[in-house]
Every structure is written in C-alpha cells, then in structure tokens.
Amino acid sequence: MEKGDPYRKGFEAWGIDREIPYHQWVTERVNQVNLPFRRIPTQSRNEEQNQDIESGEVKKLKEEVAKLKEKNVKMADDLLGLQHSYADLNREYEEKTKAYEGCRDLNHDGDGDPKKS
C-alpha cells in the first residue's frame, strides 16, 4: 500500500501486524479490551485447516520456484557456452574464407583466369 493510503494508517493506528493472521489479532484484541465476545471453535478449526492448506501450497510453490531457478541457471550457462561456440565458429569461418581467397588469388591472374605455367 502507498504511504498516503488511509487503510495503512488504520492498520498502524490499531497496531495490526501483517505477519499475524487477522482473526488471531482480533481474538487477542478482544481479550485485551475485555469485550464480551466468545470464540467460535468451529471457525478456528476451519481457519487452521485453511492455513495448513495454504502453507502446503506455499511450500509446493517455493519448491517449484527453487527448481525453476536451478533450471534457469543451467540454461543461462548453456546459452553462454553456445554463444562462445558460435563466436569461435564464426571466427574460424572468417579465417578459412580469408585463407581460401588468398589461395585463390595466388592461383589466378588478375583477370580471373587460372595462371598458366
């Protein structure tokens, strides 16, 4: 959120920590202020199940990201190797072309006809 966002100011004013789940924060706040609300046990079980499911999904995604990062590093190395191979092949081609043209010039006279011995 942006600094000028009124919701951000509300979070900071109420002391909401973004790392703590909202319902946990509300429960703690209710106990702090001594409000006459009671906790609904089924709701907390559902929240815990949802958090477990989310944490499992997050774990899978983190594993996938790690695998993709490894794959990316390997592909970057492969690409660098291919770029070097291309540069080497291009340099060899140019050298052979120059050598061929030099050899051809030695075997031909100025008008393009082969030299007569």
- 71 and 29 in a common domain: no
Q: Is residue 50 part of a domain?
A: no
Does a structural domain hold residue 91? yes
Q: Please name the amino acid found at residue 117.
A: S
Please give the tally of structural domains in the chain: 2
Residue by residue, pLDDT tens for the chain (117 residues) are: 455 555 555 555 555 566 777 777 777 877 888 777 666 665 556 666 666 777 888 889 999 999 999 999 999 999 999 999 999 999 999 999 998 888 887 776 555 555 555
Question: What are the E-state strand segments in the chain?
Answer: none
How high is the pLDDT of residue 1? 45
| Same domain, residue pair 80 and 113 | yes
Please give the pLDDT value at position 22: 74
Specify the pTM.
0.42
63 and 8 share a domain? no
Encode 73-96: b = buried (16+ Cβ within 10 Å), e = exposed.
eeeeeeeeeeeeeeeeeeeeeeee
What pLDDT does residue 9 have?
Answer: 53
Containing structural domain, residue 9: 1-39
Tell me, yes or no, whether 63 and 117 share the same domain: yes
Distance set, CA 74 to CA 65, 68, 89, 104 (Å) = 14, 10, 22, 45
Do 59 and 94 share a domain, yes or no?
yes
pLDDT at 27: 79
